[in-house]
Structure 1
Amino acid sequence: MIDNIQIQIPSLPENIRIVESFIDNAKDQYQLNDDIYGNIMIAVTESVNNAIVHGNRSDSKKNVHLQLALEESQIKFTIEDEGPGFDYSNLPDPTLPENISKPGGRGIFLMKNLCDEVSFKKDGRVAELSFYLS
């Protein structure tokens, strides 16, 4: 079974609620266990928030596109913004002492620790977050 569901939201922080509902619906529809559900909720909302704030610079005329693809053994979320992208290969490590007290920089670190696979495409405008179902 392969499913593919997509939504698009304007870049407003309050639209994170729509993303949370989208993930809740996926949990119910695919009977996701609580561990995977928790990881998905944190990682995907963090990624969408990054797309809104950093990618689209909170410009409500720009959208964030969220896609869920269910494959046999994994569920993959693709988050795409309409911003300029970023250099995802050269991010500071938030666990280093000089970065511990900085307010930002933990989102991608969190995503990499909660997802089974994370990849970036289109100069960083697209994040793909994969979770194994078994």
Structure 2
Amino acid sequence: MKPFKLKIPSITDNLRIVESFIDQAREELKFDDDIYGNIMIAVTESVNNAIIHGNKNNKDKNVHLSLVMEDDNISFTVEDEGIGFNFLDLPDPTAPENIDKPGGRGIFLIKHLADEVRFTQEGKRVEIIFYLNS
């Protein structure tokens, strides 16, 4: 199956385009309502991170989003054009010293909503996988 692809400039208003992309994919691929909410939150959060943290809100840099549906999973890949980050050294947002900090919850949320999360290319690319019929 040919993957669905989207490229957007790094502007947070473009999250609406991402939401429409997910809605269109849901209509065409008929994935379950059970995972739809998790997909919407995890993927838009990941794109938001790519815009703000990866591309530093530089509208001349793009965020690339693609999805592939296989027999047993649906996989979204979000890639920014930034310098990456150390995804192995993320503070735990639930730790007492981090509870009052405004950042650091996005990746934590993504990891709890998806079945698998894989970072590659020094953190510039994240693959978010949801199992079907689980």
Q: TM-score range by the shorter chain?
A: over 0.9
TM-score calculated relative to the size of structure 1: 0.97
User: Which residue is 2:125 aligned to?
Assistant: 126
User: Which residue is 2:71 aligned to?
Assistant: 72
8 Å Cα contact 1:120/1:127 also seen in 2: yes
User: Which residue is 2:97 aligned to?
Assistant: 98
Using the TM superposition, give the Cα deviation of residue 3 of structure 1 relative to its aligned residue in structure 2, in angstroms: 3.6
User: Which residue is 1:15 aligned to?
Assistant: 14
Structure 1: tracts of 5 or more residues without a match: none
Written as runs of structure 1 = structure 2, the 5 A alignment for 1:1-80 is: 2-80=1-79
**Identity across aligned pairs (percent)?**
60
Using the TM superposition, give the Cα deviation of residue 67 of structure 1 relative to its aligned residue in structure 2, in angstroms: 0.5
8 Å Cα contact 1:3/1:71 also seen in 2: no
In structure 2, distance between residues paired with 1:63 and 1:102? 28
In structure 2, distance between residues paired with 1:70 and 1:53? 27
8 Å Cα contact 1:11/1:58 also seen in 2: yes
In structure 1, distance between residues paired with 2:109 and 2:2? 26
Q: Deviations over 1:50-81 (max 9, x none)?
A: 00000000000000000011111100000000
Size of the alignment, in residue pairs? 133
Structure 2: tracts of 5 or more residues without a match: none
* Backbone CA RMSD of aligned residues: 0.7
Using the TM superposition, give the Cα deviation of residue 104 of structure 1 relative to its aligned residue in structure 2, in angstroms: 0.5
TM-score calculated relative to the size of structure 2: 0.97
Using the TM superposition, give the Cα deviation of residue 33 of structure 1 relative to its aligned residue in structure 2, in angstroms: 1.8
Using the TM superposition, give the Cα deviation of residue 96 of structure 1 relative to its aligned residue in structure 2, in angstroms: 0.6
Runs of 4+ that moved beyond 4 A? none
